[in-house]
């Protein structure tokens, strides 16, 4: 389990209704100590609201984000569920958070940050801001026939 510092859990927030993508990127950057806890600059940039295209290749400090193409825009009967689950577990095993997009009951998608996997049932555990946390991530991914993720690496 990745231990997210209390000050990030309590201090980070989503400051605009449609800023969940930059909110989740800020969350990761704060976890990786690449952004001050009081910084909400990405969310203040309205051009970053409502889409995640800007994140693929985005660099901040020694972090570079990417969107694995094998999962992007692939929802449907042939979605590679096993590959997605394996990729998420691999990232978690390297102590890296994973950003995932999930459908909400109001029909909008919202970003969550996966930080753990329940060893008893394999369910993914995620946190977010602006919506309740989710402990049924994998079930929700299957309900929408797949989804995309954002991952990152540390640059040298």
Q: Output the tens digit of pLDDT for each of the chain's 156 residues.
A: 789 999 998 999 999 999 999 999 999 999 999 999 999 999 999 999 988 999 999 999 999 999 998 888 789 989 999 999 999 999 999 999 999 999 998 889 999 999 999 989 999 999 999 887 777 899 999 999 999 999 999 998
Q: What is the pLDDT of residue 56?
A: 96
* The model's pTM: 0.94
**Topology of the domain covering 17-35+54-154:** Cathepsin B; Chain A (3.90.70)
| H/E segment holding residue 60 | strand 59-60
Q: How many CB atoms lie within 10 A of CB 119?
A: 8
pLDDT of residue 92: 97
Q: What is residue 41's predicted lDDT score, i.e. its pLDDT?
A: 97
Measured distance CA(155)–CA(135) in Å, rounded: 31
Q: What is the pLDDT of residue 73?
A: 76
Each domain of the chain, given as residue ranges in start order, spans 17-35+54-154
Q: How far is the C-alpha of 45 from the C-alpha of 126, rounded, in Å?
A: 25
pLDDT at residue number 51: 87
CB of 51 closer than 8 Å to CB of 21: yes
Helices in 39-127 by DSSP H: which ranges?
41-44, 81-93
């Amino acid at each position: 389990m990745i231990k997210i510092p209390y000050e990030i859990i309590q201090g980070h927030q989503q400051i605009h209704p449609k800023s969940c993508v930059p909110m989740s990127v800020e969350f990761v950057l704060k976890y990786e100590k690449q952004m001050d806890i009081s910084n909400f600059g990405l969310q203040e940039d309205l051009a970053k609201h409502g889409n995640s295209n800007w994140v693929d290749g985005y660099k901040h400090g020694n972090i570079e984000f990417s969107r694995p193409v094998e999962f992007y825009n692939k929802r449907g009967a042939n979605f590679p569920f096993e590959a997605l689950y394996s990729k998420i577990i691999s990232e978690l095993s390297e102590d890296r958070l994973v950003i995932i997009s999930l459908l909400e009951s109001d029909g909008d998608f919202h970003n969550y940050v996966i930080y753990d996997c329940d060893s008893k049932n394999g369910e993914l555990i995620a946190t977010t801001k602006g919506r309740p946390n989710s402990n049924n991530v994998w079930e929700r991914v299957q309900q929408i026939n797949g989804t995309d993720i954002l991952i990152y690496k540390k640059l040298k």
